[in-house]
Amino acid sequence: MEYDSPSEEEVHSSSEALHEHYSFTADPGQSPLRIDKFLMARIENATRNKIQQAAKAGSIFVGDNPVKSNYKIKGGEQVKVLFAHPPYENLLVPEPIKLEFVFEDEELVVVNKPAGLVVHPGHGNYSGTLLNGLLHHFKEMPKNSNDRPGLVHRIDKDTSGLLVVAKTETTMTHLAKQFFDKTSERKYIALVWGDFDEDSGTYTGAIGRHPKNRLQMAVFEDNSQGKEAVTHYKVLERFGYVTLLECQLETGRTHQIRAHMKHFGHPLFNDARYGGDAVIKGTSFSKYRQFVENCFSLLPRQALHAKTLGFTHPKLGTFMQFDSELPDDFVELIDKWRNYAQHKNL
C-alpha cells in the first residue's frame, strides 16, 4: 500500500469524502478468510501491519460497512479500501512550482531543493511537491519501482540540497545501479550536538523502522531488522557543545544520517523527530538556554544540507560532481555558534 493509513481525525465524515484506492470481489468459491490476509495477497507491497492500521482507522469496507482486520471475507463479497486522500496516481499532476536547476541535459536534471519542500506526494502532502513541479517542467518522465516519475533518490522535506532526477528510462536504470553499487558520491553538512574524540570516523549499523515509533528509523546491531548502513564523518569545526560535520554516505537508507547520529549520541541540531530540539549539551544558565532557543528560531528544522552530489553520466560516461552552497540561515547559524565558541560571552 503506497500510503500510511490516515489518523482517526482523517477518517471520513461521510462517504462522499472518501476516495477509493482498491476494490476486490472475492471469488464465489472463496472459503472464509481473514480480510487482512485476503488483501495482502492482492495489494502489492502491502504489509499486514499497514492493512491492520487501515482497518483500525475505518478505511476497509465490505459493502457499505467498515470492518475490522479479523473480519472473514466470504465468496462474492466486495472489499474496498477507502481513504480521505486521492490515490497516488491522481496526485501526479503538474504544478507551476519554482525550482532551481543546477544542471540539465536530455538525460537528467540536478535540482537544488530548498528546505521545506516535500520531494513527492504522499500521506499528508498531496500537492505542492518537488515532483509536481518537475511534471510541470517535463511532461514525460520514466517511473521508478514505486511509480514515482524521475526519482532516483530523495532527501527529507526539511533537508536542503542536491538530488538528481532522470528524464529517460535508460538514465534512471543507470543511475539507480550506481546508487545500489555505492559508486555515486553524496556528502552532507550537518551540525550535531556534542564533541568528538576523533577528527573522523565511520558509523555502521543496520537501519530499519523503529519498533515503537513508526515515524522514526532505528539502528540495529545486525541486518535482521534493517538494512546495512554506513556513514563516514569528518569534523569540519568544533564549537564546544555542537560540532560541524561533513557526512559521506556509503549507503542511502531513509533518515540514515539522522538515525546514525542519534544512535551514537549526536542528534542533529534542532531535529525534532530525533530529539535534537532540546538543550542536550551545555549549561543550564538562562543566557545559554536563550542563546540555543535563538539558534532554534534561526534554523527551525534539522541542520542538514545535501551539499555534494557526484555520479557517472549515463550517456557521456564521465564522472560529474556538483556542489551547492549552504542556505543563508544555515550559514547564519554556524556563524552564531562560531562567535559563541570564540568569545564565550554567554
Q: So which residues are the catalytic ones?
A: 156
SS3 (DSSP) at 53: helix
Q: Provide the angle, in degrees to the nearest 10, between the axes of the packed helices 328-343 and 286-298.
A: 160
Total Cβ atoms within 10 A of residue 337: 23
- Contact at 8 Å (CB) between 233 and 191? no
Residue type, position 27, single letter: D
Give, in order, the Cα–Cα distances in Å from 7 to each of 52, 123, 210, 215: 13, 10, 19, 13
- Contact at 8 Å (CB) between 149 and 92? yes
What are 346's three cell numbers? Answer: 554567554
- Contact at 8 Å (CB) between 200 and 248? no
- Contact at 8 Å (CB) between 296 and 277? yes
Residues in CB range of 68: below 8 A, 6 or more apart: 55, 56
Grid cell 540536478 in the structure block, residue: 110
